[in-house]
Structure 1
């Protein structure tokens, strides 16, 4: 066997193995827990060199951060649904006419008026009927 054939077969086999590895990892989703798996209360037994007890220095801030994250996620979800609803309303209510050109709203034919014509604003002057 020549060196080129051997090298080609090795490259082909390595490419096949790499593609199989990518396919197998793509099929299995990685486990992501919804809530943290460790309790913040495990920090109560941790050595803390500060002046505050561990509950106030480590545990309570983590609990408050989790509560804040839940509230922020809920608010973001609510705002996303409101935005989608508004976008759907706007798409539904759009008028399919052009903004300019012959299909626009201001190009519709109306009554013809003369510039500075005030005849319709003031009554006609009374005409004198001559006596006989």
Structure 2
């Protein structure tokens, strides 16, 4: 298994890690002088622009040691349905994507409509009704 750090960076990866470093800097309340001194200490560079992707990851790890806790995304997990429900689950996923909604929205609808905590646990009839409700919601917006 290869580590993400072993792959060649794309511009987007580099941009994303640099953005996370700057977010961490702000959340930790580092002034510019302290921030640049920390970069110099960790990588011998005073700017992220001069760093290799591996050095950017080292800076990120150092910021975590200083107390930075990256925010976790809570978009809901995509269900892994049984074969007989896969087509319906695909329809639910397509409707969510069209409306730019996350799986948590579908899980909440399942809870409200059927008192079932997760979409995974719905039977076929309930899934059909969920699809109908999602289609109705899509027409409204």
TM-score by length of 1: 0.20
TM-score by length of 2: 0.19
